[in-house]
Structure 1
Amino acid sequence: EKDLEWVNVIRRRSHLHELPPLYTIRDVEQTIGLFKAVDFDTPFKEIGPGIEMVFRDAGHILGSASVHFEINENGKVYKIGFTGDIGRPNMPLTHDPNVLRELDLLVMESTYGNRLHSSYENVEQEVADIICQTSAAGGKVIIPSFAVGRTQILVYVLHKLFNQGRVPDLPVYVDSPLACDATNIFRSYPEYLDRETNRVFLKYNEDPFGFGRLTYVHDVEGSKKLNNLAFPHVIISGSGMAEGGRILHHLRNNIDNPKNLILFVGYAAKETLARKIMDGNHTVKIFGEEHTVRSKIKVLDAFSAHADRRNLLDYVSLNSPSKLKHIFLVHGDLEQAMSLKDGIRSKGFENVHFPAPGEIFTYNKDTW
């Protein structure tokens, strides 16, 4: 709604008709009442006769879950898995994915079915180098970031770097109401954070998501004040694909200065503003106006919360080809999914599908 208000201001100036919001706050409030909380690893049987569902920690973001179904039909039990977004092992904050096993059928994401991520091992030093070099030049580091998951990892990393004296003493701003609220949720559930977070911060009663030079900006006026800061600093703001949110204002105000650096730390879909900048476009449209890209651009894919090709193949391989008879790949571009399909087939799994939108597959005791 709020993003669209600004878009419609631009459209009115161009004598274009206003666009309606896809949904409103009222829609969200009504939908929230339909949610039911279920713990990980706890059987849930309120779906229908003979159906049991268990949520497993997907390791993608805090609370993300894969779903394991057991369907008992005429004395035969079918086990079906739906991965949702699968996380990566050995990443900050989240536990490693709890793999769905002993399945008959699996629906699995394929976001990075043809890509390998850079190792996380060196990325903290890369972030430190970026901040040191940009601040030494008198510039700002602007980071488009997903509000849930990615922002909290960035804050965690920056907290470590500040504690270790590896970056200069400059201010850091998280400018996103959603990220502010999401971070409070992370704080409220320390039991879901990984051992490393406990080792580095929690066992010393230290907040992983708060340190002296960090400011969370919730209100609009506070966000506007950031536009007038002339000294080096870091801004983390949403949305991660730069298709809406306050990051658009920060990009508009900073993208034409060669002293500044725009740091991308997540996936950007085709045709999004983030992807256009990442791909090296010399000019981009922000709020309908052309801007020349003069700032430095850096992309770090080591922060990705999605499993890469190796992780996905390892995930499938923890099931048996003799039992897992059907695999459906979703949530991926054609190139990614088809490459992953070939990789899975090479592991001995014969029936691997990349379904088209609207395609229906029917299974019963005779065709399973």
Structure 2
Amino acid sequence: MKIAFHGAARAVTGSKHLITLKNNKQILLDCGLFQGMGEVTEGLNESFGFHPEQVTYMILSHAHIDHCGLLPRLVAEGFSGPVFCTPATMELARILLLDSAKINEQDAEYANRHIKRVEDQEMPLYTEADVQKTLSQFKVVAYQEDHEVDEQISVRFTDAGHIIGSAAVHLSIREDGKNHRVTFSGDVGRYGDLILKSPQTYSQADYIIMESTYGDSLHKDLKPIETSLREIIQQTCVVKKGKLIIPAFSVGRTQELLFALNALELKNQLPDLRYYVDSPLSLEATEVLKNHPESYNSGVKALMKRDDDVFSFKGLKFIESVQESKALNNDPRPCVIIASSGMAEGGRVRHHIRNNIDQPKNTILMVGYASPGSLAGKLIAGRRSVWMFGEEYDVLAEVKSIQSMSAHGDYEDLLHFLACQDPDKVKQLFLVHGEYEVQQKFAQRIREKGFKHIAIPEYHQEFEL
């Protein structure tokens, strides 16, 4: 049995991990889109490093685009097997992939406007038709259910507490008369999350593929989210009469923001302003979250006894049409605008940043991880000028960050996730989904917990298990 790492290897996006058995069966764990990696991003997304038609099974940990966003291209290039995931992941993947296909097709159309020769025209990574075919291959598996994939392979999902439907994947693979247990963490959420249950424990694994996004960071030492939000809104919108622009992923982060703002209203601490969510996708994702209250933690369930909609509050409006979105740029009144994407690499938020970045009274607030090469990453790093839409813009608006809003666990959460394992029984632990320097620091913390065999795979590197 071999495993090769074709994405999220010494990087944070593009999750793809391919297990190949001796009989040539192949199991692909995640099939994510690379995002925010500068000029190389497009090339990374166009080449898998393996043959899609040879993949037997695909298992999806959760619906974030950096974990599922290349699935339709995988199918378009020949993958015809089943895609196993939780029910909520399928619901979210449907809306996210259809939206991604629309963006891909629009981008290709825009790029081809002035290219006359058909052979020179740019093709989208995939189309809506590719997404529909992909969705027809989805098969849902409930949490804590041992699902027999075939006579040799079974899979079990445990709640990873990252977003609705997110799962750690536990494979049982029988080969050479032995049972091999492989755990893939997916993205690990936080113990004590605002909304979701904490990650679940799981049985002993022989091999662990572990995410490490915040392997050198602690979130708990920062201010409470509600306090930070209230202070930033007060200073920007009430004192300076400016606009607060918040890039936020449509799934997970936007709902956390709405929950925190609703909590401020319940305490009579929410400034009387207009609050816009400028993302049709966020509206759909919020509805999916509302449809799965079984994933809420006990605190949210208790709150729902006195507040039947914990994601709504006075002054909130979801913006759906492009015309309404553009109108926000011409409205001089102070307001809060939450829009995707979270790394500000695309979507409507990029337009809002462009229209508000040159005024000191405005604030751009980052609420989670942003890769260094992304627009959000550059702003967090303190760049005084940035390129957008082919032009250079001076950064005069204030840039702030609330790292504690990350849906990823910090290093204590990640170590907690591993605490149910006997280190002496883990034959190999692979660190993925993290920047290399961060992974090296986290590897040392894991060694201190007794794990002896730790690898940090390079892109396309293969290991014999």
TM-score (norm 2): 0.73
Range with greater deviation from structure 2 (240-249 or 107-116): 107-116
2:299 aligned with 1:196? yes
Q: 2:334 is matched with which residue?
A: 232
Identify which of 287, 293, 301 aligns with 1:184: 287
Q: 1:151 is matched with which residue?
A: 254
Measure the CA separation in 2 of the matches of 1:49 and 1:266: 42
- 8 A Cα contact 1:3 1:244, kept in partner: no
2:180 aligned with 1:87? no
2:366 aligned with 1:249? no
Change (3 A) 1:286 1:13: farther
Cα distance, 1:123 vs. partner?
2.1
Q: 1:304 is matched with which residue?
A: 406
- 8 A Cα contact 2:248 2:254, kept in partner: yes
Q: 1:44 is matched with which residue?
A: 147
SS in structure 1 at match of 2:263: helix
Cα distance, 1:326 vs. partner?
1.2
Measure the CA separation in 1 of the matches of 2:215 and 2:121: 39
SS in structure 1 at match of 2:425: coil
Q: 2:394 is matched with which residue?
A: 292
Identify which of 344, 350, 365 aligns with 1:263: 365
Percent of residue pairs identical: 41
SS in structure 1 at match of 2:314: coil
Cα distance, 1:189 vs. partner?
1.3
Cα distance, 1:252 vs. partner?
0.9
Letter in 1 for 2:242: G
Cα distance, 1:140 vs. partner?
0.9
Measure the CA separation in 2 of the matches of 1:308 and 1:234: 28
Change (3 A) 1:258 1:121: closer
Change (3 A) 1:3 1:281: farther
Cα distance, 1:18 vs. partner?
6.4
SS in structure 1 at match of 2:309: coil
- 8 A Cα contact 2:108 2:123, kept in partner: no
Question: Over aligned residue pairs, what C-alpha RMSD do you find?
Answer: 2.2
2:106 aligned with 1:2? no
Q: 1:366 is matched with which residue?
A: none
Identify which of 128, 131, 142 aligns with 1:28: 131
Cα deviation 1:313-363 (Å, max 9, x = unaligned): 232232112211211111111111111112212222111111222222223
Paired residues for 1:75-114 under 5 Å: 76-114=178-216
Cα deviation 1:26-49 (Å, max 9, x = unaligned): 22222111111211111110x221
- 8 A Cα contact 2:354 2:388, kept in partner: yes
Number of residue pairs aligned between Structure 1 and Structure 2: 360
Measure the CA separation in 2 of the matches of 1:105 and 1:185: 33
Identify which of 265, 275, 283 aligns with 2:377: 275
Q: 2:316 is matched with which residue?
A: 214
Letter in 2 for 1:303: M
Measure the CA separation in 2 of the matches of 1:148 and 1:232: 26
- 8 A Cα contact 1:255 1:293, kept in partner: yes
Q: 2:34 is matched with which residue?
A: none
Range with greater deviation from structure 2 (54-63 or 34-43): 34-43
Identify which of 314, 318, 321 aligns with 2:423: 321
SS in structure 2 at match of 1:361: strand
Change (3 A) 1:183 1:73: same
Measure the CA separation in 1 of the matches of 2:114 and 2:265: 45
Measure the CA separation in 1 of the matches of 2:410 and 2:397: 29
Cα distance, 1:168 vs. partner?
1.4
Cα distance, 1:51 vs. partner?
2.1
SS in structure 2 at match of 1:36: strand
Q: 1:139 is matched with which residue?
A: 242
Measure the CA separation in 2 of the matches of 1:6 and 1:348: 49
SS in structure 2 at match of 1:322: helix
SS in structure 1 at match of 2:371: coil
